[in-house]
Chain A
Amino acid sequence: MKKLNLLLSLVLIILISYIGWLLYVYNQSFYNITFQDIPENSTLIIYLEGSETKNSTITKNDNVAKLRYGSYEYSILSDGYSDSRQKFSVTKNDQSIAVSSLYSEKKLSSLLKEQMDSIHQFIKKSYPETNFDYQVADGILIGKGDWYGTILYRPEEDSSIIEPYRIILKKENGDWKVAASPQILQTLPANPQIPKEIIQQVNNYSML
């Protein structure tokens, strides 16, 4: 009987050690991910990549999530910010991620209404051709309202043969500057300093 108790105790110790080891390994598989630049009064929702199920919810004051190795997406839940999902990966280390917070389309279009006249005046001053032959389309504000793209075009009777020239402006210290001079197509090789998403949005902008 004593021998049986000893054996059972030994099995129990081994089992508890094994469970303890499993818990330790499980705990070690999580990494501290610190999210920086979360906008005020907003919540960051984290999803597993491609999933609709929320993995974590964090805020500016509680900006560390414990996540396992893998691919994730986050979106910002806040008025005035785009809720489009941004991808990120968790490697086998603690890491810090700068949150890319872009304004919502509604906010950008409201900002554009306020600034369009001054932007168009700047373009007309920079390119006097636009005072005569060419016209400036409304255009789009992008990002946090710090990028602007539009089309300069010569009105034609047949609208199907219009040749649009796309221009990109960047707001620096409160002033608009030409980031990419008018071209039929803005490209990454010609503008390595401009983010790909900005170039793509300006190229996809249509007056229609």
Chain B
Amino acid sequence: MIPEQLNIVPKQLVLSVSLIVINILAAWLINVLYNQIYSSQVTFVTAPSDLSVSINGVKKDIKPNTAIRLKPGEYNLVAQKNNFDKYSGKISVGEKKQEFIPVQLTPSTPIGEKELSSEENQSSIQDIYSLKYTANEESYKDIAILKRLPVKSLLFSIYSKISQSAQAGDPLTIEVNAPYGYREAAITLIKNWGYDPSVYNIQFTGDYNNPFSS
């Protein structure tokens, strides 16, 4: 009815609709190709792994080992999760086709500490350190200890920590959670692995209280 009212032949209508669809498809294709050519695949390596990330105020669904596309430039990044300090800062996406951006949050509660010591998050921390430290051979040798962490035994646990501000060459932070009398055993274990514990920033947690600190 409508084509007749508008005095349009059905054949012309089909042709017009087809042309519009083809135009939309072409525009979509051009946009996809443009994004493919002029944007980078950005993978966020995060610890903890399931944090909430906003880029320039837009919430992004960041899944472990999944890349999103971003055009080269600077972005405002906000990363947060319960039991961790919120992080706000700038990230820079370069013109490489593939970029890995490390994001790590500092635990603010014992629950966060515990979460960060999980196998999955320790593995993410290892990846983050590897990304940050590859330029520095000497410190890269020291971070090989991460392959051994976390350690969770009946007597003590050893795991690594990282802050967003950590730079290549900064000492690796290792936390030792052990009761009285077993902290030395944790240090001995690190020595027995062949690593020099004195090069790390070692922090004792749990019921630790240095009797000599004023």
Interface residues of A (CB under 8 A from B): 127, 129, 133-134, 152, 156, 158, 160-165, 181-190, 196, 199-200, 203
Contact = CB atoms under 8 A, between A and B. Distances in A.
A203 B204 CA distance: 16
A129 B212 CA distance: 8
A174 to B, nearest CB: 25
Contact of B200 (A161, A184, A189): A189
B198 A165 contact: no
Interface in B173-214: 180-184, 187, 196-202, 204, 210-213
Contact of A162 (B184, B200, B210): B184
A57 to B, nearest CB: 33
B112 interface: no
Interface SS majority for chain A: loop
Given A161-B181, A163-B180, A199-B198, A185 B187 contact: yes
6 contacts: A152-B212, A163-B184, A184-B183, A184-B187, A187-B197, A187-B200
A187 B181 contact: no
A181 B184 CA distance: 17
A203 B211 contact: no
Interface in B2-58: none
B171 interface: yes
Nearest to A204: B191
A124 to B, nearest CB: 12
A161 B212 contact: no
Contacts, number: 58
A187 B180 contact: no
Nearest to A198: B198
A188 B210 contact: no
Nearest to B204: A184
Given A181-B212, A184-B187, A188-B171, A163 B201 contact: no
Contact of A161 (B180, B198, B204): B180
Contacts of A163: 180-181, 183-184
Interface residues of B, number: 19
B213 A181 contact: yes
Contact of B198 (A181, A182, A187): A187
Given A161-B182, A162-B181, A187 B212 contact: no
Contacts of A129: 211-212
A102 B213 CA distance: 32
Contacts of B211: 129, 133-134, 165
Interface of B: 171, 180-184, 187, 196-202, 204, 210-213
Given A184-B187, A185-B187, A165 B210 contact: yes
Contacts of B201: 187, 189-190
B212 A165 contact: yes
Contacts of A186: 198
Given A158-B181, A181-B213, A183-B210, 16 more contacts: A129-B211, A129-B212, A133-B211, A161-B182, A162-B181, A163-B180, A165-B210, A165-B211, A184-B183, A185-B187, A187-B171, A188-B171, A189-B171, A190-B201, A196-B198, A200-B196
Nearest to A182: B212
Contact of A156 (B181, B197, B200, B204): B181
A165 B211 CA distance: 9
A162 to B, nearest CB: 7
A188 B183 CA distance: 19
A185 B198 contact: yes
A203 B210 contact: no
B135 to A, nearest CB: 19
Given A163-B183, A163-B184, A188-B198, A127 B171 contact: no
B62 to A, nearest CB: 32
Most buried by B among A182, A185, A196: A185
